[in-house]
Amino acid sequence: MLFNSYIFIFIFLPISFFTYFFLLKKRYIIAAKSFLVFASLFFYSWWNISYLPLILSSLLFNYTIGNTLHINSKKSSINKKFLLMFGIVSNVLLLGYFKYTDFMIENINNIFESSIPLVNLALPLAISFFTFQQIAYLVDSYRGETSEYDFLNYALFVTFFPQLIAGPIVHHSEMMPQFASPWNLLKKYKNISLGLFIFSMGLFKKVVIADSFALWASKGFSNPEILSFFEAWATSLSYTFQIYFDFSGYTDMAIGVAFLFNIKLPINFNSPYKSLSIQDFWRRWHMTLSRFLKEYIYIPLGGNRKGTVNTYGNLLATFIIGGIWHGAGWTFVFWGFLHGIGLVIHRVWQLFGIKLWTWLAWLITFNFINVSWVFFRAEKWDDAVEILKAMIDYDNIVFTKSFIYIYDTTIKKLSFIMPNLEASSSTKFLFDATTFIWLGFIFILIRYKNSNMMISSKDVFSIGYTVYFAFLFLFSILAISLSEYSEFIYFNF
Amino acid sequence: MNYKKIVFIYVSLTIVLPMLFLGNIIYYDPLKLFHKPWHHKEYLHSNMRVQAAGMLKYLDYDSLIVGTSILQNTSAREASKRLGGKFINISIAGSDYFERSYILGHALKNKNIKKVLYSLDYLGEAGHENRVYNYKNWDYLYDDNKLNDIKVYLNKKYLTCLFSFVNKDWCMGMKRDFDRPGAWYQVEEHIKTFGGFETWLKNKNSPNMKHLFKIIDRLLLQMEKTKTIHNKLIGLLGLAKSKKYINKYILTLVQQYPKTEFIFIAPPYSRLSNALVAQTDITKFIVYLESLKYLVRLSEVNNNIKVYAWGNEKFLDNLENYRDLTHFSHKINSWILESIENKKGLLSVKMIDKYLESFIQKAIEYDFTEIKIKIRDYN
């Protein structure tokens, strides 16, 4: 069940909302929370019920270990450390088994020229997200930074459906108090209106903007060998905008839905493409992942406490792990490596104390991010190289040649009915993509407020904004039925 | 501002506006899907894949002409007069059998259909994906769920149309003759290409003729380069596929509705067309003929099937009857109805081999010298 599906918007969400508050109104608090856990598990099982035992076992296992660690947090014993290691290793092994087994086998086969058959495991939905959330919980329990949580609230913390599938990666310290607070058990119209507004905006970002970019990005990435200079740029920029609008749209929807239940999820994006450095970018992009990587990987590795070289090494290691977390493939590893190197170069640059012009800093950062997304998106290493080669192939500055091929492989057969279609469609294709890319730039760079800023403004509670968001919602609902692309990119991770 | 009021306004807008939208759609209903037309009664859309859904719902009929562009010129009135019953023509240009099975299946399920006139185009090709139209864009119009029919209006064309305050005529289609709504015999572009091969050459620069000569030139070149040989294995595989396809999309309906008479016609394409296929891809040609034979055999065990073909008639040799390789004059459509009325061209197991023998011979022995000279002289 996707957030942008009719079944979620018109059936699942209203039923969950009204049942939850009906039970609360009758003062059946435990029943209401249990219902929300049940609804979340139902939401999770909608894709494939066979994943259900996995998330339930993970939930029980981590709650037991975490609680034991919490009870013994004041004691300093080898058993406690062992228990933490056992918990972390079990989580990592579970994630590794489902996500990386085939990747490992492929590499072993390549290196040793063996032919070990692939296991072809289906990746359980959301496993990367709920594993990370619970590892953080275990580590904090070990550090004594958790309280004694009741199981129902813990179950809600892990399974709460708005954030379950693709984040934001929530931290127990920001969620558990909200689930426990009696103030959050009342229906609050301010939160409902905010929730509806943010959800509408997220839905619009996803189904109208991201899905339009997705069409062009997919066409380019599936035919990388024939792209001209402009087409290669249109392809890479389309994906750069697609991934932003797709993921931030999803996050907005998650935040909006959570608001309906009086739960405030952490923000995940803060105009990342306005960044003036790669460090700045990681403070604005997928902020909850950055927080996790910093607190649970970079700092435990030593952070910046062990000298310059070690700091650079830690940065690189953290981002390579971040790359692998996104997917089992060398292109993801290289994407993480690129960002790690980018951060190291940025640190070295800072040592010189030279400040770039703002526009130049933005240009370098944005293009670096754009290039790195090519590796992130490409299915094969060679595809990424082809696209990048085309992006610097100044001899191949033509507008339509290969787009005619890509576009018309599907429609050229129409030419005997509509003879003028061939040329005009290809031109239109590039024209549409370019127009949208410019609109993307305008939306991101020139628009005064991003969605978080807009929502935190008091002005938003006006008739004008209400009508505006209602129209965004209606337009998106219409667009859903016209859209050819629907899945969220981050569902794959 | 009061937060409760904001929620109320938001929810009201998201309910009221779609209601207005639905009301507008249901009032105008350009494809006549939800009710009998209240206005623009003589209007129909040209895309018969979707328009047929509306026609099947509100027109008065008990028999159907379900062909391709080959049968679009067939008069429903004349068919009713000659063959009995009350026909409507919902022929769909370029339609494969799998597409027609959605529409025909829906009609047979919901109405007591007496007769179906069906053209056997692309026989032997067993296509599951239409070259032009994605069936997913319209197949829901022929399922049991009436609510999802609304999807057909959720596109730029109809939305612009429904929410514009201009004259709605173009939204509602065009005034059409309900006798044969998809007919093209009066379309100027097609009229001018009737007259024989010389007329085709004269119009060589028109889009349709350009495409036609591209095919002819390619096939003539292929003929000169290589001699076609019957590949038995490919032929057998092709025939097996074709039979499976016929069973799935034709035979199932025939057996499910034994009281309905299915009149199948093998379209009388020009001799030139048959010869081009036979002399460049004999395997394909044989699969076509064997598929026809298979249908004739089926007619022996299924009393509600009749198969007609006129492949040995003289008019196939006269290109003046054709606007291209396959599309014949509307006079032939009328002649076909007359032939069916008189049982002329009705195939049976007893005479199918003889019929095919003569048909193959004519196609294989066709002499292209004259055609080649005409093309050379013109160039």
Q: What is the pLDDT of residue A113?
A: 80
For the packed helices A52-71 and A151-159, what is the interaxial angle rounded to 10 degrees?
Answer: 130
Q: Is B4 on the interface with A (CB under 8 A)?
A: yes
Q: What is the chain A residue with the closest CA to B136?
A: A484
Q: Is B15 on the interface with A (CB under 8 A)?
A: no
Q: What is the pLDDT of residue A449?
A: 65
Q: Using a CB-CB distance cutoff of 8 angstroms, which residues of chain B are in contact with residue A190?
A: 3
Cα–Cα dist B59/B51, whole Å: 12
Q: Is B205 on the interface with A (CB under 8 A)?
A: no
Cα–Cα dist A317/A322, whole Å: 9
Cα–Cα dist B30/A281, whole Å: 51
Cα–Cα dist B161/B29, whole Å: 11
- Shortest CA distance to B288 belongs to which of B321, B258, B311? B311
Cα–Cα dist A74/B26, whole Å: 70
* pTM (two decimals): 0.68
Q: How far is CA A227 from the centre of its chain?
A: 28
- pLDDT truncated to tens, each residue of chain B (379 aa)? 688 899 999 999 988 888 887 888 888 888 999 988 888 888 898 889 999 999 999 899 999 999 999 999 999 999 999 999 999 999 999 889 999 999 999 999 999 999 999 999 888 887 666 555 678 888 999 998 887 888 888 777 777 777 665 556 678 888 888 999 999 998 888 888 898 988 998 888 887 788 888 888 888 888 888 888 888 888 888 899 999 999 999 999 999 999 999 999 999 999 999 999 999 999 999 999 999 999 999 999 999 999 999 999 999 999 999 999 999 999 999 999 999 999 999 999 999 999 999 999 999 999 988 888 888 877 6
State phi, psi for B346 to the nearest 5 degrees: -70, 125
Cα–Cα dist A126/A43, whole Å: 12
Q: If you ran DSSP here, which 8-state letter would residue A8 be given? A: I
- Shortest CA distance to B62 belongs to which of B103, B115, B100? B115
- Shortest CA distance to A198 belongs to which of A473, A420, A396? A473
Reported as a single tens digit per residue, the pLDDT across A451-465 is 677 777 777 888 888
Cα–Cα dist A486/A488, whole Å: 7
C-alpha distance from A461 to closest chain B C-alpha (Å):
6
Q: Using a CB-CB distance cutoff of 8 angstroms, which residues of chain A are in contact with residue B1?
A: 461-463
Pull the structure tokens for residue B56. 């099947």
- Shortest CA distance to A41 belongs to which of A181, A192, A137, A165? A165
Burial A281-311 (b: 16+ CB within 10 A, else e): bbebbbbbbbbbbeebbbeebebeeeeeeeb
Pull the structure tokens for residue B114. 């007496």
C-beta atoms of A470 and B10 within 8 A: yes
Pull the structure tokens for residue A381. 């290493």
Reported as a single tens digit per residue, the pLDDT across A2-20 is 888 888 998 999 999 999 9
Residue whose tokens read 């506006």? B17
Cα–Cα dist A258/A242, whole Å: 24
C-beta atoms of B13 and A466 within 8 A: yes
Which 3-state string (H, E, C) describes chain B?
CCHHHHHHHHHHHHHHHHHHHHHHHHHHCCCCCCCCCCCCCCEECCCHHHHHHHHHHHCCCCEEEECCCCCCCCCHHHHHHHHCCCEEECCCCCCCHHHHHHHHHHHHHHCCCCEEEEECCCCCCCCCCCCCCCHHHCHHHHCCCCHHHHHHHCCHHHHHHHCCCCCCHHHHCEECCCCCCCCCCCCHHHHCCCCCHHHHHHCCCCHHHHHHHHHHHHHHHHHHHCCCCCCHHHHHHHHHHHHHHHHHHHHHHHHHCCCCEEEEEECCCCHHHHHHHHHHCHHHHHHHHHHHHHHHHHHHHCCCEEEEECCCCHHHHCHHHECCCCCECHHHHHHHHHHHHCCCCECCHHHHHHHHHHHHHHHHCCCCHHHHHHHHHHC
CB B299 within 8 A of CB B305: yes
Cα–Cα dist A314/A331, whole Å: 20
Cα–Cα dist B226/B85, whole Å: 50
Q: What is the pLDDT of residue A216?
A: 81
Q: Using a CB-CB distance cutoff of 8 angstroms, which residues of chain B are in contact with residue A477?
A: 18
Q: Which of A70, A171, A326, A339 is catalytic?
A: A326
- Residue A425 pLDDT > 50: no
Output the CA torsion A194→A195→A201→A205 (10° steps): 150
- For the beta sheet containing B115-119, the strands, ordered from the edge strand earlier in sequence to the opposite edge, are B87-89, B63-66, B115-119, B261-266, B305-309
Q: What is the chain A residue with the closest CA to B93?
A: A417
Lowest mean pLDDT among A184-193, A208-217, A275-284, B237-246: A208-217
CB A289 within 8 A of CB A167: yes
Cα–Cα dist A183/A97, whole Å: 41
Q: Using a CB-CB distance cutoff of 8 angstroms, which residues of chain A are in contact with residue B154?
A: 478, 481-482
Pull the structure tokens for residue B32. 């006549």
Residue A245, CB-side half-sphere exposure with 13 Å CA sphere: 27
C-alpha separations of A483 from A40, A214, A215, B271 in Å: 26, 10, 10, 46
Is the bond into B30 cis (omega within 30 degrees of 0)? no
Our answer to whether residue A326 is catalytic in this structure is yes
Pull the structure tokens for residue A86. 């056992």
Confidence check on the interface: ipTM exceeds 0.90, yes or no? no
CB B306 within 8 A of CB B346: yes
Q: What is the pLDDT of residue A440?
A: 62
Q: What is the pLDDT of residue A444?
A: 59
State phi, psi for B372 to the nearest 5 degrees: -65, -40
Cα–Cα dist B63/A154, whole Å: 66
Q: Which of A466, A471, A475, A482 would you mutate first to test chain B, the one with the most B CBs within 10 A? A: A466
Q: Using a CB-CB distance cutoff of 8 angstroms, which residues of chain A are in contact with residue B16?
A: none
Pull the structure tokens for residue A339. 């960002």
Pull the structure tokens for residue A153. 């609230």
Pull the structure tokens for residue B84. 């009995």
C-beta atoms of A478 and B6 within 8 A: no
Give the count of beta carbons closer than 10 Å to the beta carbon of residue A191: 21
Strands B305-309 and B174-175: unpaired
Cα–Cα dist A424/A427, whole Å: 5
Pull the structure tokens for residue A427. 């031109």
- Residue A419 pLDDT > 50: no
CB B13 within 8 A of CB A470: yes
CB A269 within 8 A of CB A286: yes
